[in-house]
Amino acid sequence: QKEVEQNSGPLSVPEGAIASLNCTYSDRGSQSFFWYRQYSGKSPELIMSIYSNGDKEDGRFTAQLNKASQYVSLLIRDSQPSDSATYLCAVNGPHTGGFKTIFGAGTRLFVKA
Amino acid sequence: GAVVSQHPSWVICKSGTSVKIECRSLDFQATTMFWYRQFPKQSLMLMATSNEGSKATYEQGVEKDKFLINHASLTLSTLTVTSAHPEDSSFYICSHRKPNTGELFFGEGSRLTVL
């Protein structure tokens, strides 16, 4: 079982719709959860971080965390063509000597104009 | 603006040569920096953790003699790919972690092509 699993997609949504991206993780000791956006040929950039159960909103983005279900999601409201990218779910968990960030394989999102 | 600067962005080299990639932390003194590698259509894989003033910690399966990491100052870490081969062609990305948050901030990445 992969440590962080995401549907690879592609996920295609029309402009203005809500895009829903999902992620599950295997280590119950995981403490911090992140969503990164990566445009083709570029390095990842942080979009959201979430540390406790529930929802966290930042502009058009909402991250949702359910530790009991080991599930993290990202909602993008009013999707724009510029949101087309690969979205990486990342989880920080205990690791020898500290903690380690594990990335999922990413979900490719296409927003159609 | 960018908080991690990486150089060069692109490098093409001949098989058997060595390539050095520099990574600078611009916003704080980073005792720890991270080096990732990403092959096409795959996710980020942590190669090693660079520790200022001490040896790097390498992930399982990463050859420490091939991927030399030096973290001589609190703002600079370097990755040298020694005796590069075509299978080393990849996107190499460095990052640092914002204190107390776990958030990673990445450099621009270096795309290495070995002919």
Residue of A8, A43, A87, A100 to mutate for B, most B C-beta atoms under 10 A: A43
Is residue A108 scored above 80 in pLDDT? yes
Q: Does the distance separating the beta carbons of A103 and B43 come in below 8 Å?
A: yes
Tokens of A78: 């009013």
Task: State what percent of residues in chain A have pLDDT above 90.
Answer: 81
Is residue B114 scored above 80 in pLDDT? yes
Could you tell me the CA-to-CA distances from B40 to A11, A16, B44, B76, B92 in Å, in that order?
19, 30, 10, 27, 11
Contact criterion met (CB below 8 Å) for A92 and A4: no
- Check CB contact of A105 with chain B, cutoff 8 Å: yes
- Check CB contact of B42 with chain A, cutoff 8 Å: yes
CB-CB: which of B57, B103, B111 is closest to A46?
Answer: B103
* pLDDT confidence of residue B19: 97
Residue A97 carries which side chain, given as an amino acid letter?
Answer: G
Q: How many residues in chain A? A: 113
Is residue A98 scored above 70 in pLDDT? no
Query: Residue B29: exposed, middle, or buried by beta-carbon count in 10 A (0-12, 13-18, 19+)?
Result: exposed
What's the rounded Cα separation, in Å, for the pair B98 and B90?
A: 26
pLDDT band at residue A95, thresholds of 50, 70 and 90? low
Overall average pLDDT of the A85-97 stretch:
83
What's the rounded Cα separation, in Å, for the pair A54 and B66?
A: 44
pLDDT tens-digit readout, A33-53: 999 999 999 999 999 999 999
Q: Which phi and psi angles does B19 have, rounded to 5°?
A: -130, 135
* pLDDT confidence of residue A106: 95
- Check CB contact of A43 with chain B, cutoff 8 Å: yes
What's the rounded Cα separation, in Å, for the pair A62 and B4?
A: 26
Using an 8 Å CB-CB cutoff, list chain A residues near B107. 43
